[in-house]
Every structure is written in structure tokens, then in C-alpha cells.
Amino acid sequence: MEIDKNFSDKALEDFRLIDQATIENDEQAFAELMKRYKKPVYHMILKMVRNVDDAEDLTIEAFAKAFKNLKRFKKDYTFSTWLFRIATNNAIDFIRKKKLETMSLDSSFKDDSGEAVKIDVEDNELNPMEETIKSQKIELIRIFVDKLPPKYQRLVKLRYFDELSYEEIAKELEAPLGTVKAQLHRARELMYDLVKGKEQHI
């Protein structure tokens, strides 16, 4: 496939990494893509949900969904634009579900290439790709949870599947809040490793 010459060097490098990841099953390529975009995606989501823990969770979900669908990515636009749209759609779904009072969703963000990523909440109907991405959420997280050490599995299930707050999890487990937060942070890091290093084997 011929690639538009107007893409930036970074976008072209992303395309190369995507080919390595999808064609050669190169774990380092997945890791490099996550390294490039984890912080900007996280900070964008944080602006939307205004909660550090939720932003971390949503960042994991965004990368899991993107990597699961990476073979479907078309090089008609940049990877960062595609990834940011997945992340924003996922965050919007979370905000709607939680009915959070957050920033105005009429705003837009710029992706890593400086392109505007509009957040449109007028249409409640998801397009086919968004429906596919949404339907994979539980399936993806379940795959990762099953690979975690047993001590983290219940914590993550309470957080992701039962959607309990940290305070509710601490009460449920009769554990100190600080311990719950620390263990969930560690579980999250392990899940990041699974997303970037093991996804293609699933």
C-alpha cells in the first residue's frame, strides 16, 4: 500500500512499528507504540474524567482495544489520531455511564500530530467499529485478569467488572484503602505489560 508522503517522520515510524507488530508479532514494537503514546493518552483522558485512578484504567482499556484491532488499522490517517479516537470514545462511554460532572464534551483535543480530535456526544449511536471495540472490553480484561497472579485477580474483578470504587473495594475486602490502591496500581502495571507484550499471542 502506498503511503501519503505528507505524513510526518513520527507517523511513518508508527506505520513501521505497526507492521512489525502485526506482521512479525514483534513484542518490542507493541512496547514502543505504548511507550510513545501512553503519557499523552493518559493526560488526555485525565482531563476528561478528572480522576487519576479512572484515567489509568481507561488508558489500559484504550491500548488493549487498539492493539486488539491493530490489524484493521488503515494507513489513511495517523496512528495517533486513530488511538486518540478510541481513547476518547472509551472515556465518553465511561462518562455517560457514570454521569460524571467533568469538562465540557463539546471540546476537542489535538492528537500527537496536531490534528483535532473532536469529541461529539450528540449522536448516541455507536458506529460498527465502536460497537466492536465496546463489545470486546470485558473479553479483553478477562483475558488479562486470568493471567494475573491470584492475589490481584479478585481486586481487578471488583474494580473492572463490578465497577466498585476504591473505598468500596477496601470495605469489601476489609483491607486498608492504601493497601488496595497500592495493589491495584501493581496489578495495573502487570496488565500494561500484558497489553504491550502478550496481546498478539491471544
- Residues 15-25 pLDDT 10s: 999 999 888 88
Q: Does 1 fall in a domain?
A: no
Nearest to 87 by CA among 51, 126, 128, 117: 117
Residue 159: the pLDDT is 83
Q: Does 26 fall in a domain?
A: yes
Q: Report which of residues 121 and 136 the model is more confident about.
A: 136
Q: Does 55 fall in a domain?
A: yes
Q: Does 140 fall in a domain?
A: yes
Residue 14: the pLDDT is 94
Q: Does 193 fall in a domain?
A: yes
Calculate mean pLDDT across residues 26-30.
Answer: 87
Tell me the residue range of the domain where 128 lies. Answer: 9-201
CATH number, domain at 159? Answer: 1.10.1740.10
Asked if residues 37 and 82 have their Cβ atoms less than 8 Å apart, the reply is no
Q: Does 2 fall in a domain?
A: no
Structural domains of the chain, count: 1
Residue 144: the pLDDT is 74
Residue 121: the pLDDT is 44
Q: Does 91 fall in a domain?
A: yes
Task: Dump pLDDT digits (tens) for 48-76.
Answer: 998 888 898 899 889 988 988 898 898 88
Expressed in angstroms, the distance from the first to the final Cα of the chain is 27
- Res 123 pLDDT > 50: no
Q: Is 76 left (phi over 0), alpha (psi -120 to 50) or beta?
A: alpha
Calculate mean pLDDT across residues 119-126.
Answer: 46
Q: Does 4 fall in a domain?
A: no
Residue 97: the pLDDT is 79
* pLDDT band with cut points at 50, 70 and 90 for residue 12: very high
109 - beta bridge partners?
117
Residue 27: the pLDDT is 83
